[in-house]
Structure 1
């Protein structure tokens, strides 16, 4: 009777641990096919990245197998991004995000063109691969990721050049407002994605736009009174430009990971595309119908 009682107790403890253990959650999904929030069934080959929150990182963590990145359980961590060289693909190059240098993750060029979100016509706005994410581990925790990047010198040059008709990015602006344009870059528009680990089964979210691109404002002054010159009497409009990470218009790309106790964020990278303009519609930056 005593052995039966101990066995029952151990089984109960194991079941309780399984509900909060992020690794147990991860393994249980290997058998079950997942469906993401966009209705796509997540099956087939993919790259899996586990971002693990730790209170105190140890040497044992450095020996962890698989594609993992360690971040602080609470507070901000930097995950630097590097474009995969030709012939290479996804890879964790530095798994320790808790030190001064941050982590380093390598991934391919997203594969779409920079474009003005209000005027996307004729531009390739679909990615070469898609990113899905779900939070696991202890319920009632969460984390936020924001993709960050600086504009390069080339970005400022294409805004300042007088021969704007030679710049692919400005083609639709010229078609709409003529060649006499004064363009300047405006503010960086953060597009964070927040994950909340609620009770029950967690659904994957399509986070391709948030993790593979950044958005900047541009201010465009055009010859609105048709007098042949750009002056203070002309109208200035605000547009948004979505730029893929690793594009020549950007530099110093990284993910800012702001953790609020989340022990595991699972990212999956699948070999099918996502149309970035879907995110523009949600954010209110899309073309008017």
Structure 2
């Protein structure tokens, strides 16, 4: 799998340390997203909890409470797939996706774009997290989506969604860990919803 050609840089400054996540430039559509093949994931906020069994679900959507915080558990895979679409049952949802940066060199094998849809006024915050020796660590960087009036456009959220930025060794300097880095275990996205009915994420593999 070829890694992204360096045309665009997303730069994060974390306590004096500069991290650069490099992604591929692409032709863009009218909604702000790149053109071309992609995997589409819809995170749908619902008033009422779902009761149907949604394990091994092949749909491109995850149901979450319209208000509240849940876990979207992450598993490494060769492609993108919803394994458990029900995020309203207290056990969280499950999503499979490839390792985005096996070498942790800041060059991702795919990019992620996001936008908020639905009734204006809703917001959501998605934060990458993981565990180490039973202790939960969540990234200092996250994805905040706000549904405003009018047309909604996609934003590149690759660096915020695919890495955990955290100071594990306590030296006052944050380190960067891509999803599924062996330094941490049991990766997940903490999805905190505040009335957003639809968060749309698109995943584009690098050519």
The bucket for the TM-score relative to the shorter chain is 0.7 to 0.9
Which of 198, 202, 217 is equivalent to 2:152?
202
Match of 2:10 in 1: none
Partners of 1:272 and 1:35 in 2: CA distance? 20
Which of 74, 77, 90 is equivalent to 1:81?
74
Q: How does 1:157-236 map to 2 (within 5 A)?
A: 189-217=139-167
8 Å CA contact 1:147, 1:253 repeated in 2:
yes
Q: Deviations over 1:125-158 (max 9, x none)?
A: 11000000000000011111111112369xxxxx
Which structure features the higher share of helix residues?
1
Partners of 1:189 and 1:70 in 2: CA distance? 23
Partners of 1:65 and 1:125 in 2: CA distance? 30
Return 5+ residue gaps in structure 2 as ranges. Answer: 1-27
Larger Rg: 1
Displacement after TM superposition at 1:52 (Å): 0.2
8 Å CA contact 1:152, 1:248 repeated in 2:
no
8 Å CA contact 1:51, 1:266 repeated in 2:
yes
Q: CA RMSD of the aligned region, Å?
A: 2.8
Which of 172, 185, 189 is equivalent to 1:251?
185
Return 5+ residue gaps in structure 1 as ranges. Answer: 1-31, 115-123, 154-186, 221-236, 274-289
Displacement after TM superposition at 1:66 (Å): 3.4
1:99/1:244 CA distance change after superposition, 3 Å? same
Match of 1:33 in 2: 29
Partners of 1:81 and 1:95 in 2: CA distance? 12
Match of 1:182 in 2: none
Partners of 1:98 and 1:58 in 2: CA distance? 6
8 Å CA contact 1:49, 1:267 repeated in 2:
yes
Are residues 1:268 and 2:198 paired?
Answer: no
Equivalent pairs counted in the alignment come to: 177
SS at match of 1:239: coil
Q: Deviations over 1:170-222 (max 9, x none)?
A: xxxxxxxxxxxxxxxxx8652122110000111111111111110122668xx
Which structure features the higher share of strand residues?
2
Partners of 1:61 and 1:55 in 2: CA distance? 18
Displacement after TM superposition at 1:112 (Å): 4.5
Partners of 1:209 and 1:149 in 2: CA distance? 16
Partners of 1:189 and 1:60 in 2: CA distance? 32
What is the TM-score with the length of structure 2 in the denominator? 0.76
Q: How does 1:116-155 map to 2 (within 5 A)?
A: 124-151=105-132
Mean CA deviation greater in 68-77 or 210-219:
210-219
8 Å CA contact 2:59, 2:82 repeated in 1:
no
What is the TM-score with the length of structure 1 in the denominator? 0.56
Match of 1:240 in 2: 174
